[in-house]
Amino acid sequence: MDRDTRPGPGGGLGQFLRSRRERLGPAAAGLPGAGRRRVPGLRRDEVAALSGVSLSYYSRLEQGRETGPSHRVLEALARALQLGDEDRAELFQLARPGTRRTTSPARVERVRPHLRRLIEDWTRTPAFIVGHAQDLLATNALADALYREFSLHDNVLRMLFLDPAAKSFYRSPERARHRAVADLQQTAASTPQDPRTLELVGELSVRSGEFRTLWAREYIRVPPYEVKQIHHSVVGDLELRHEALDIRSAPGQQLIILQAEPGSPSADGLALLGSLSAPGPSHRQQPPHGS
């Protein structure tokens, strides 16, 4: 006999979410079953990953400690929990009793012209500018040459998780992915209802099982720099210091610089790469959907 999972009168949003995730199995949600499970249906971290929100934010929703989720969050939850029309209407009613709210507009990110000129003048150092969700907003010619083997040039996380080139380019691709996810989690924690972040996390959660696993973990703050070990098919192995600098005139944007130790084989490799690269327009795409 099927168990009645409808929340009772006054059960609230948290009980509704809990009941709907408990009745949705991992197979139906496109997730591995992982053998015996300690809870019926989906776990909280799985719903959070499928919805594109952090685990802590989703937990607060179920516990009644987070109120007023945005329209985007509710739509993402409805998709993740595979709600029908009646349940979807109930979800919105429980989340916003007696009120109607407007959706927050997507953030449109632009790179200031003087910053474009700054990185374009650097001919010996790969450099690029990323937005709050790690969308590539501008790159210089040497960065284009360094990442030329990637078919994706729009977002750091999409390149790491969805482009096969990442596996051979990074000598430790797992480390690079861990750092990128940790960076995105910090963004999601500070702006949990940001449309672009929700969109990106939702896409990666559906398309990458590794991303879903990493997103469910709790991360500490990552250092602003590290040494990246990469392998370029033309100039070989490179060790580059990765520096991330916040741009105060454009909150959320970062200037990323990849530097080789002067006089090192890596510096020689970058010089050779620069000499081999024909001049041409660099990839300066705006993030998809105007984010």
User: Per-domain residue ranges for the chain?
Assistant: 12-95, 113-290
- Please state, in angstroms and rounded to a whole number, the distance separating the CA atoms of residues 180 and 242: 12
Tokens for 283?
Answer: 């990839």
Element housing 240 (H / E) = strand 236-246
> What is the Cα–Cα distance from 152 to 139, expressed in whole angstroms?
14
- Whether 76 and 95 have beta carbons less than 8 Å apart is answered as no
- 182 burial (CB, 10 Å; 0-12 / 13-18 / 19+) is middle
Question: pLDDT 10s per residue in the chain (291 long)?
Answer: 334 444 433 358 898 999 998 888 887 777 765 556 666 788 898 898 888 888 888 999 988 887 778 877 888 898 889 888 888 888 888 887 654 444 455 567 889 999 999 999 999 999 999 999 999 999 999 999 999 999 999 999 999 999 999 999 999 899 899 889 988 988 888 887 788 888 898 889 888 989 988 887 766 566 666 889 999 999 999 999 999 999 999 999 999 999 999 999 999 999 999 998 755 544 444 444 444
pLDDT for 284 equals 46
Is-above-0.85 flag for pTM?
no
* Close Cβ partners of 289 (under 8 Å, ≥ 6 residues apart): 106, 196, 199
* CATH class of this structure's domain 113-290: alpha beta
In the prediction, which pLDDT does 219 show? 65
Predicted local distance difference test score (pLDDT) of residue 154? 94
Strand partners, 157: none
The C-alpha atoms of residue 115 and residue 111 are separated, in whole angstroms, by 7
Q: What pLDDT score was predicted for residue 226?
A: 81
Q: To 5 degrees, how large is the angle CA 39–CA 64–CA 41?
A: 20
**pLDDT given at position 262:** 95
Alpha helices in the chain (DSSP H): 12-22, 44-51, 55-62, 71-80, 85-95, 113-120, 141-146, 156-162, 165-169, 173-190, 195-207, 209-215, 265-276
Which CATH number applies to 12-95?
1.10.260.40
